[in-house]
Amino acid sequence: MHQTIDAALGINLLHANQEGADHNRTHFDEWGVTCFNVMSSPGAGKTVLLEKTLAALRDQLRLAVIEGDMTTELDANRLRAYDVPVVAINTGRSCHLDAKMVAGGIHQLELCTNPRELDLVLVENVGNLVCPAEFEVGEHAKVALLSVTEGEDKPLKYPVMFQAADCLLVTKIDLLPYLNVDIEQIQQNVRQLNPHATIIPVSAQTGIGLTEWFEWVHQQVTQRCQAIVGSH
Amino acid sequence: MHETDMTKALIATVKDWYDSQPEDPQIIKIHLVVGNFTCVEPVSLQFAYEVQTRDTFLAGTELVIRETPLIAFCHACQREYTPEIGLRYACPDCDTPMEDIRSGRELKIDHIEYCSDSVSAYAPNH
């Protein structure tokens, strides 16, 4: 007898990725490592931010980078100059990192360093304001960048990214005198969606705001360490 | 482009369910719920699904997508409102930021219609 049956599933489409992300996070937690997922559109300044961060913090924190790039190792090579472990993941045609790719990156990292001796892993996602927001990779915090040259409206047009961010860096503010952009409006547009994010205007060129960013990084790592100590 | 990955995830999840059934069910329709406040475009998802299921166990099956609107709840006004995606997300009455999203973030496989030779193949929500 043939009959049509309706089976309720109610499974999230990203269920498999979420499981992978949770698995990665469990590893980070066991090792006492904090992980940030750094996201933005292409050219917003993720790599230069990481360069400044590695240069300033490598003597204070034990850092490593998992670098997502569609086809090249250009960004990874820039970061290797700072003498910290850098693992490059080529995503091929995929426009974002997912949990499985980052798991691969973690395994590569284990080959070149002891992850238990790290404090912070910075995952630089593929430049894209859309999909990276939906694919967790196991991070403890999401860091989004928006350069002032992109315009005030981007948080409204790409809301999922800005709604999910724990920290938003408004970058390239040294260019403000040359642009018809209202940085207050950028912040207000983000606040409509995300009242709790830490918003830090920065310029990697002049160094404005970077101290505040480094403090935020330290604060996150310290909080995580305390949470781990507290759980034992 | 990311709809390709979403479709891969969809196919993988359905395959897990398919393999868990006691006998190979003949799938007719897969019903998805996709919120308007996600990064997924239903038209692109339909296209990716058609292309990626060719010559697989899902060839010829239909993907039915139900979209859900973005609805937020304003705790200051104690009422729901519909933010204007791309324009304005704060409460239209009191300007409180959007915090409590009640609908629009769904991205799920809701149910599967399939044909089976035996009643015992029925495998509801687990």
A130: chain B residues, CB-CB within 8 Å: 2, 39
The type of residue at A70 is: M
Please write the tens of the pLDDT for every residue from A38-91.
Answer: 999 999 999 999 999 999 999 999 999 999 987 788 888 999 999 999 999 988
Q: pLDDT digit of tens for each residue in chain B (126 aa)? A: 578 888 988 998 899 899 999 888 999 999 999 999 998 999 999 999 999 999 999 999 999 999 999 999 999 999 999 999 999 999 999 999 999 999 999 999 999 999 976 554 444 544
B7: chain A residues, CB-CB within 8 Å: none
Does A188 touch chain B if contact means CB atoms closer than 8 Å?
Answer: no
Please write the tens of the pLDDT for every residue from A195-214.
Answer: 999 999 999 999 999 999 99
What separation in angstroms does the CA of A192 have from each of A49, A59, A163, B70?
26, 38, 9, 14
- Give the pLDDT confidence score for residue B126 in this predicted structure: 44
* Phi, psi of A117, rounded to the nearest 5 degrees: -95, 10
> Nearest Cβ partner of A130 from B10, B12, B39?
B39
Please name each of the domains of chain B with its CATH number: 2-15+24-117 (3.30.2320.80)
pLDDT of A21 higher than 90: yes
CB-CB under 8 Å, B39 with A134: yes
- The Cα of A115 is separated from the nearest Cα of chain B by a number of Å equal to 29
Please write the tens of the pLDDT for every residue from A155-193.
Answer: 999 999 999 999 999 999 999 999 999 999 999 999 999
In order, the DSSP letters of A61-86 are S-EEEEEEESS--HHHHHHHTTSS-E
CB-CB under 8 Å, A134 with B89: no
% of residues, chain A, pLDDT over 70: 99
Does A111 touch chain B if contact means CB atoms closer than 8 Å?
Answer: no
User: How crowded is residue B96: how many other Cβ atoms within 10 Å of its Cβ?
Assistant: 17
- Give the pLDDT confidence score for residue A232 in this predicted structure: 62
- Give the pLDDT confidence score for residue A135 in this predicted structure: 92
**CA–CA dist B108, A8 (Å, integer):** 11
Q: Residues B42, B67: contact at Cβ < 8 Å? A: yes
Nearest-by-CA chain A residue for B126? A9
Right CATH number for A15-231 from 3.30.70.250, 3.40.50.300, 3.40.50.1100, 3.30.230.10?
A: 3.40.50.300
Q: Residues B72, B83: contact at Cβ < 8 Å? A: yes
| Domain residue ranges in chain A | 15-231
- Give the pLDDT confidence score for residue B121 in this predicted structure: 44
CB-CB under 8 Å, B121 with A15: no
